[in-house]
Amino acid sequence: MKFGYSEVCLDHDTGARHPETPDRLRAIREGLKREHGVEYVDAAPVDRAAVEAVHDPAYVAEFHEFCDDGGGNWDPDTVAVERTWDAALQSAGLARWAAETALDGTNGRSTPFAIGRPPGHHAETDDAMGFCFVNNVAVAAQAALSERAERVAVIDWDVHHGNGTQEIFYDRDDVFFASLHEDGIYPGTGEVDETGTGDGDGYTLNVPLPAGAGDAEYEAVVEDAVAPAVADFDPDLLLVSAGFDAHRHDPISRMRVSTEGYGVLTDRVRGIAADADAALGFVLEGGYGLDVLAEGVRMVHEVFDGRKPVEPDDGVDDDVERLVDDVRRAHGLGEK
């Protein structure tokens, strides 16, 4: 598997007590040391125009000036230093590389995974939030649409709702966005009835899962709601906003996904992409337990390297069954 990585992303220094630290990338690299077939690519950063393709130019200028002035707290959670500007352009560049590499048709073991930081899926058109300044997956999707693709799907399995990605594409019909997230936590968005507006009506799919959802629930959601909706959309490119903070041992969530469960999710999205004849790439989002973050990324690699993940044998929670039916009805898929 090919991993987009750059030392520039380590220069975004959030401080010793912040959960989103450079050690996240170091842990991933350490976890991949003993894996077969790992290749690293130091892709080029994006330029300002690529960022302004999905963000308000006034916000981009404000963010640039904020970093030039030495940074600080944009909000209580979102911290920048002078080098954060360069790290953000680099992180978005790695995401763009993942989209481009996927569209080049290099699949199988060389499937691209961008492991940049800061993460991006909370960054909205005109604001930074939730550790995010530039919406990496949105930059990548827009670059693909501008150059080579007609339709792009994004599946976001981070434990937090990808409000920024949703907001950027909410009124468009060339991007389908699906988010699987824990209900009732930051940022408080992502209800089932948030399905898009105008031309984008029906192209946003949200699954706000109850706390404690685990492997069986996530698999059911992907199989019964996300997969048929993506199939109807028929994308040319599928990007995964891959956060690993729904892991049962992550310090900031209450979900119960196992490392093996991330393998099952990886296998499922690979199948969704194959069925749609879509290119497939991964973009890192959250994950704040260093060991389990490394395990999750390593599991994605191992699935593409030939490992067959163990299927969950638990039953699906009744509340999640009802939730899946609600999502299917909201998107005209009917009950199972």
| Catalytic machinery residues | 122
CA atoms of 36 and 78, how far apart (whole Å): 36
| Cα separation of the two ends of the chain | 35
Q: Is 16 exposed, middle or buried (0-12, 13-18, 19+ CB in 10 A)?
A: exposed
DSSP bridge pairs for 79: 73
**Under 8 Å between Cβ of 236 and 152:** yes
CA-wise closest residue to 158 among 177, 139, 176, 173: 177
Burial code of 242-278, b = ≥16 C-beta within 10 A, e = fewer? Answer: bbbbbbbebeebebbbbbbbbbbbbbbbbebbeebeb
DSSP bridge pairs for 282: 113, 240
Within 202-258, residue ranges assigned H as helices are 215-221, 227-233
CA atoms of 225 and 236, how far apart (whole Å): 19
Q: Dihedrals φ, ψ of 99, to 5°?
A: -65, -45
